[in-house]
Amino acid sequence: MTKLNEAFKNHKALIPFVVAGDPDFEGTVSNVIALAEAGADVVELGIPFSDPVADGPVIQAGYLRAFDQGVTVERIFQMVTAIREQTQVPLVFLTYINIPFKYGYEAFCERFEQLNISGLVIPDLPYESRDELAPIAEKHGIALVPLITLTSGARIPMIAKAATGFIYMVSSMGVTGTRDSFTKALGETVTEIRRYTDVPIAIGFGIHTPEQAHELSQISDGVIVGSAMVDIVGKDGQNAPKELLLYTKALLTAIDQPVEV
């Protein structure tokens, strides 16, 4: 099993997100390969859900495009098999809890292990409810990546201490989508998390410019870029791999550029 924390070694990680099945299955395979080629450290794939309450309009539109292609969980697993024939880039999946619940936690995690999928992000599975899935995920070597938000406050120690893989630090209030600015509280929250864990911290929600990627990677171990990627897939369709590659390279260049003093 590919260990996620390897992806964060000696380098601030970039984690692009695309929707599985968007614009279609072959397109997703090409998109993931392009992202890996560009140097993405981890690729996050979204399993579409009918009612994605944590996602904004851009990612919701990606889910709808995938549903139009007849996306199913089984079809996504077949798609990962095709991806794995061409790249071993670490993969994490984002989905809503009803998807693994309905599939069966044990069977779901078993498929993840077979396909060398490293982690699982579930926005509607808070700390208090994670016990029904966490031991099963752990048994199969899958990191259950927790989310910490600007409202987590006193919950930070308990969430941070239980974290595996990496911590998904949610940059702002609200749903996914591009944003123009981030608050000072974000840096303070990251500092607070650091007091309790060595698990890498990646910041996501709203990041879309290379400048933002640079700025936020300075206060964390990596950044997650979602809506901006899905937006490219939505606009460029079959040409998306080329555009994703260029965009990812630009983000990586910005992340790796030295800090001005």
Partner 1 sequence: MEQLKEATEKKGYYGQFGGRYIPETLMNELNHIEATYNELKDDPEFQEELHTLLRDYANRPSLLYFAKNMTEDLGGAQIYLKREDLNHTGAHKINNVLGQALLAKHMGKTRFIAETGAGQHGVATATVAALMGMECEIFMGKEDTERQKLNVYRMELLGAKVHAVTSGSMVLKDAVNATMQEWVSRVDDTFYILGSTVGPYPFPKLVHDFQSVISQETKRQLAEQAHQLPDMVVACVGGGSNAIGSFANFIDDESVKLVGVEAAGKGVNTDQHAATLEKGSTGIFHGMKSMFLQNHDGQIDQVYSISAGLDYPGIGPEHADLQDRGRAQYVGITDDEAVSAFEYIAQQEGIVAAIESCHALAYVRKIAPTMAKDKIIVCTVSGRGDKDVAAIAKYRGVEIDD
Distances (CA, A) of 180 to 120, 128, 175: 28, 32, 14
- Name the catalytic one among 44, 215, 221, 231: 44
Helices 210-218 and 240-256 sit at what angle, rounded to 10 degrees?
Answer: 40
Is residue 146 a contact residue for partner 1 (CB under 8 A)?
A: yes
Report the residue from 51, 138, 188, 211 that binds partner 1 according to the rule CB under 8 A: 51
Least distance between partner 1 and beta carbon 68 (Å): 13
Is residue 185 a contact residue for partner 1 (CB under 8 A)?
A: no
Q: Which stretch binds partner 1 (CB under 8 A): 30-38, 81-89, 168-176, 221-229?
A: 168-176
Q: What are phi and psi of 178, to 5 degrees?
A: -75, 145
Q: Is 55 a catalytic residue?
A: yes
- Report the candidate in 120, 169, 172, 160 with the shortest Cα–Cα distance to residue 143: 120
Q: Which stretch binds partner 1 (CB under 8 A): 26-34, 167-175, 188-196, 244-252?
A: 167-175
For 130-150, give the DSSP string: GGGTHHHHHHTT-EEEPEE-T
For 72-118, give the DSSP string: -HHHHHHHHHHHHTT----EEEE--THHHHHH-HHHHHHHHHHTT--
Is residue 242 a contact residue for partner 1 (CB under 8 A)?
A: no
Is residue 124 a contact residue for partner 1 (CB under 8 A)?
A: yes
Per CB under 8 A, residues contacting partner 1 are 49-51, 53-54, 60, 72-73, 97-99, 101-103, 123-129, 146-155, 159, 170, 173-175
Q: Which residues are catalytic?
A: 44, 55
